[in-house]
């Protein structure tokens, strides 16, 4: 086993202390966090991802070892692969496809798994192998299986785990199928965002077991962490915990470029009306209102092109037909112009969802949840599974 260097130890201690202070890290995971240093799992070139701006900055161990070391123990996500490995070079690629997740997110997800000794865990999305290493340190290697779709990422994770002296089972397969050979699991943790919960995950989790996954609709790239408990009838249900954003499961990525071809001519034959809803009311990244609109308005993707705080154009695209809507917001003008085209009046649906949300006192995300049936279909609810979310 490679022991943490003195410098690793100090930086790791500092990170653990700050995560303990914030409550993300619980005392039972603190020793594991110190013993399994994140730096051991990182390649020599990483991209530090700025959550506020969405920009990625390359950090090379060879060129600036101290900056690399600082990044390893900073509470930021580090991209480790672009474009499924097709991109090379120092500059960021188009789509980040593997990473070492943000330490506070990793710690809080381990806390939310609520694990005890002897449990069996399946992780979907091995990535660098750091999280699999943390799990294996706490539970012992024989209790942990981690699956990764990318062969070269799998190899790097296996090598890093070996260096760290940890031996979870790491399998190079598509995580949509889980890993039936190791089932049943007490816990399934996805460290990759999903748009549909694969039925295999339900089949492979024991009744009473927990599935923790970043789930979302195609409304935006945001995910909310959902904590599902398996019922005896093969379904699972549970509440959302908080907003997160993960790279998406390979087969469930939305190709946002397709919307460039969605509207042949603007405004074409669209119906034109107006609204008093403001751009701010539609919510920003990580605001629950935006996520709740996605829960209420099914199969609808949206993009906002902002000019400033109050002005810009919001686009809404039906995923199943050519229906679309666009709303132009102008700073200082109370009325925004609405264009709607196709069989669905998408903006009317969005406005109804917004009205429902304000009429219910702007409820926070943790008051919503989902039931996932054995076939994988997802049914959102408000406050309790009996209160299905259907906004008329
Ligand atoms: C955010 S990273 C995981 C971080 C990781 N747990 C860690 O500790 O570093 C997401 C990973 O999921 C992998 N992934 C994407 N689609 C997948 C799939 N269908 N099955 C398994 N892994 C997948 C990606 O290749 C990527 O490595």
Is the CB of residue 84 less than 8 Å from the CB of residue 97? yes
pLDDT at 4: 57
Averaged pLDDT, 171-190: 98
pLDDT at 260: 80
Averaged pLDDT, 88-109: 96
**Residues 19, 101: one domain?**
yes
| pLDDT digit string, tens, across residues 212-233 | 999 999 999 899 999 999 999 9
**Residues 265, 148: one domain?**
no
Range with lowest mean pLDDT among 261-265, 314-318, 351-355: 261-265
**Residues 180, 271: one domain?**
no
Q: What does pLDDT average to over the chain?
A: 94
391 belongs to a structural domain? no
| pLDDT digit string, tens, across residues 197-209 | 999 999 999 999 9
- Give the domain extent around 339: 256-359
Residue 161: pLDDT over 60: yes
151 belongs to a structural domain? yes
| CA-127 nearest atom, ligand 1 | 27
Enter the tokens of residue 218.
């195609």
| CA-174 nearest atom, ligand 1 | 20
Residue 107: pLDDT over 70: yes
- Number of structural domains (the chain) is 2
Here the CATH number for the domain that contains residue 265 is 3.30.310
Here the CATH number for the domain that contains residue 142 is 3.40.50.150
Residue 11: pLDDT over 70: yes
**Residues 184, 269: one domain?**
no
Nearest CA to ligand 1 atom 12: 125
- SS3 state of residue 226: strand
245 belongs to a structural domain? no
**Residues 180, 32: one domain?**
yes
**Residues 138, 276: one domain?**
no
Band of the pLDDT at 285, cuts 50, 70, 90?
A: confident
pLDDT at 13: 87
264: which residues sit within 8 A by CB, 6+ positions away? none
**Residues 14, 156: one domain?**
yes
242 belongs to a structural domain? no
Band of the pLDDT at 51, cuts 50, 70, 90?
A: confident
User: How far apart are the C-alpha atoms of 317 and 326, rounded to whole Å?
Assistant: 9
User: SS3 string of 129-169?
Assistant: CHHHHHHHHHHCHHHEEEECCCHHHHHHHHHHHHHCCCCCE
| pLDDT digit string, tens, across residues 325-339 | 999 999 989 999 999
Buried b (16+ CB within 10 A) or exposed e, 204-222: bbeeebbbbbbbbbbbbbb
Determine the distance from the C-alpha atom of residue 287 to the mean position of all C-alpha atoms in its chain, rounded to a whole number: 14
345 belongs to a structural domain? yes
Is the CB of residue 144 less than 8 Å from the CB of residue 164? no
364 belongs to a structural domain? no
- Residue in the structure block whose two tokens are 């002897």: 118
- The last residue of one of the domains, among 192, 227, 245, is 192
Side-chain-facing half-sphere of 52: CA atoms under 13 Å: 0
> Measuring CA to CA, which residue among 179, 215, 175, 168 is closest to residue 195?
215
**Residues 48, 180: one domain?**
yes
Tell me how far the alpha carbon of residue 144 lies from the centroid of ligand 1, in angstroms: 16
Band of the pLDDT at 264, cuts 50, 70, 90?
A: confident
User: How far apart are the C-alpha atoms of 374 and 347, rounded to whole Å?
Assistant: 32
- Indicate the pairing of strand 378-382 with strand 368-372: antiparallel
CB-CB neighbours of 343 under 10 Å: 9
**Alpha carbon separation from 25 to 29, 132, 308 (Å, rounded):** 6, 16, 37
pLDDT at 352: 96
Q: What is the DSSP string of 267-334?
A: STT-EEEEE---TGGG--TT-HHHHHHHHHSTTEEEEEEESSSS-EEEEEEESSSS-EEEEEE-TT-S
163 belongs to a structural domain? yes
379 belongs to a structural domain? no
pLDDT at 53: 80
Averaged pLDDT, 111-140: 97
267: cis peptide before it, omega within 30°?
yes
- SS3 state of residue 124: strand
184: cis peptide before it, omega within 30°?
yes
Query: Is the CB of 136 within 6 Å of ligand 1?
Result: no
- The last residue of one of the domains, among 192, 219, 242, is 192
Query: Is the CB of 100 within 6 Å of ligand 1?
Result: yes
Band of the pLDDT at 10, cuts 50, 70, 90?
A: confident
pLDDT at 92: 95
| CA-133 nearest atom, ligand 1 | 8
**Residues 20, 165: one domain?**
yes
| pLDDT digit string, tens, across residues 333-371 | 999 999 999 999 999 999 999 999 999 999 999 999 999
User: How far apart are the C-alpha atoms of 236 and 309, rounded to whole Å?
Assistant: 40
User: SS3 string of 246-258?
Assistant: CCECHHHCCCHHH
**Alpha carbon separation from 89 to 39, 85, 151 (Å, rounded):** 21, 11, 20
**Residues 152, 265: one domain?**
no
Tell me how far the alpha carbon of residue 391 lies from the centroid of ligand 1, in angstroms: 34
Question: What phi and psi, each to the nearest 5 degrees, are found at residue 196?
Answer: -140, 140
**Residues 268, 355: one domain?**
yes
Query: Is the CB of 127 within 6 Å of ligand 1?
Result: yes
Query: Is the CB of 150 within 6 Å of ligand 1?
Result: yes
Active site residue 101: yes
Nearest CA to ligand 1 atom 11: 125
Residue 296: pLDDT over 90: yes
- pTM value is 0.95
Band of the pLDDT at 211, cuts 50, 70, 90?
A: very high
Catalytic option among 71, 99, 101, 288: 101
**Residues 155, 277: one domain?**
no
């Amino acid at each position: 086993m490679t022991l943490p260097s003195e410098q690793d130890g100090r930086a790791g201690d500092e990170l653990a202390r700050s995560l303990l202070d914030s409550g993300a890290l619980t005392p039972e995971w603190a020793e594991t966090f110190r013993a399994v240093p994140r730096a051991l799992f990182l390649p020599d070139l990483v991209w530090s991802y700025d959550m506020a701006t969405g920009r990625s900055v390359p950090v090379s161990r060879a060129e600036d070892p101290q900056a690399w070391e600082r990044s390893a123990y900073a509470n930021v996500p580090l991209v480790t692969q672009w474009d499924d490995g097709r991109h090379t070079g120092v500059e960021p690629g188009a789509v980040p496809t593997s990473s070492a997740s943000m330490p506070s997110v990793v710690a809080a997800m381990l806390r939310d798994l609520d694990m005890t000794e002897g449990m069996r865990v399946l992780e979907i999305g091995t990535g660098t192998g750091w999280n699999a290493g943390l799990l294996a340190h706490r539970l012992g290697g024989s209790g942990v299986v981690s699956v990764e779709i990318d062969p070269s990422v799998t190899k790097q994770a296996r090598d890093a785990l070996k260096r760290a002296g940890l031996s979870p089972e790491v399998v190079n397969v598509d995580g949509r199928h889980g890993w039936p050979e190791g089932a049943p699991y007490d816990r399934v943790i996805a460290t990759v965002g999903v748009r549909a919960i694969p039925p295999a995950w339900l089949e492979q989790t024991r009744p009473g077991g927990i599935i923790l996954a970043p789930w979302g609709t195609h409304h935006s790239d945001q995910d909310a962490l959902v904590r599902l408990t398996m019922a005896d009838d093969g379904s699972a249900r549970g509440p959302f915990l908080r907003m997160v954003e993960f790279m998406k499961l390979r087969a469930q990525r939305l190709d946002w470029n397709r919307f460039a071809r969605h509207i042949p001519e603007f405004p074409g034959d669209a119906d034109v009306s107006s609204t008093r809803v403001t751009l701010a009311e539609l919510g920003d990244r990580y605001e629950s209102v935006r996520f709740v609109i996605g829960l209420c308005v099914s199969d609808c993707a949206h993009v906002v092109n902002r000019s400033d705080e109050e002005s810009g154009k919001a686009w809404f695209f039906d995923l199943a037909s050519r229906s679309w809507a666009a709303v132009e917001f102008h700073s200082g003008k109370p009325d925004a112009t609405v264009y709607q085209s196709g069989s669905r009046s998408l903006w009317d649906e969005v406005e109804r969802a917004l009205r429902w949300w304000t009429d219910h006192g702007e409820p926070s995300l943790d008051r919503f949840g989902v039931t996932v049936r054995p076939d994988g279909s997802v049914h959102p609810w408000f406050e309790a599974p009996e209160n299905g979310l259907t906004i008329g």
